[in-house]
Amino acid sequence: MKRTAYQPPDVFVPAGKSYSHGIIVEAGRTLYVAGQTSRDRQGNIVCKGDAAGQTRQVLENMKKVIEGAGGRMEDVAKTTVFITDIKHREAIGRVRQEFFKGDPPANTLLVISGLADPAFLVEIEAIVPLP
């Protein structure tokens, strides 16, 4: 599957290369990954109060969904990150860099008043072209 980052010449370069303005994808099938939260296999919320730890669990869950469908984390074209406090942005960004090597996916970050459970600090959904 061909996935290419697009940086328009007249648009600012994202700080820290934490996301791409656009991703051009040539693929036939697409996986839409539901918002993933920091639940372990048994459904327990992990890393309560720890945005980095929750993000790691979120992305591990996402990775399992993507790989199970035949994709790779490198195939992710777009993510939407929902956080409950802007102070978590930096920690979440650091963990994202562990999972998204090379050109990161396009991304939208939203700060919202709450998620499905008050213990959740972050939720991430994705769009993934499959090979």
Q: pTM value?
A: 0.86
CATH number of the domain that residue 58 is part of? 3.30.1330.40
Pick from 121, 54, 123: which is nearest to 86 by CA?
A: 121
DSSP code for 10: T
Measured from the Cβ of residue 26, the count of other Cβ atoms closer than 10 Å reads 9
Rounded to whole angstroms, what are the CA distances from 20 to 65, 113, 114, 121?
22, 26, 26, 23
User: Phi/psi zone of residue 4: left (φ > 0), alpha (ψ -120 to 50 degrees), beta?
Assistant: beta
Instruction: Please give the tally of structural domains in the chain.
Output: 1
Domain ranges, residue 124: 2-130
Q: Residue 1: pLDDT band by 50, 70, 90 thresholds?
A: low
Q: Which helix (H) or strand (E) holds 3?
A: strand 2-6
Q: What is the pLDDT of residues 5-44, one digit of tens each?
A: 888 898 988 877 778 888 888 768 899 999 999 999 999 9
Longest CA–CA separation in the chain, Å = 48
